[in-house]
Amino acid sequence: MKIDTKPLGIGKGFVEVVGSWGQQDMADDLMIALYETDANQNDPIKGLKANKEMRKKAMEFFKSVFALTDEQCQKIMTDVSGNVLNIYISYVCGLIEGGNEQSFKEFNDSLKPIEKENEDPKKEQRKPEK
């Protein structure tokens, strides 16, 4: 399958990936680490440690799956926003697990209706006071 790597800014438009069991295991480990960051939001120390572990696993995952150099990994760490990388992790892991092949932009655009659903419905109903 082809995975869009434009968001990483590594000089490749896409990378061809097999989706082997080994890659799927790495994707599962990375998604678990990502969910652990959410689960530890109420404890600042555990949350920071979970974030650090997730970033480490993400870079190991990208390096292995995309055959990146240390320089490319450093470029990702310094040049790509954390928000983009968090969404990108879901995009890549979903594809490796057998999701529909699509560009990162298509994947990201598909999340917008979900974000809208999760907005506070009372927010729209509130009217400014006179």
**What does pLDDT average to in each consecutive run of 10 residues of the chain (130 residues)?**
93 91 94 87 88 93 94 94 93 93 91 64 52
Q: What is the pLDDT of residue 17?
A: 92
* pTM for the predicted model, two decimal places: 0.79
Whether the CB-CB separation of 54 and 36 falls below 8 Å is answered with: yes
DSSP string spanning 88-127? Answer: HHHHHHHHHTTPPP--HHHHHHHHHHHHHHTS-HHHHH--
Whether the CB-CB separation of 59 and 73 falls below 8 Å is answered with: yes
Whether the CB-CB separation of 42 and 32 falls below 8 Å is answered with: no
Classify 4 as helix, strand or coil. Answer: strand
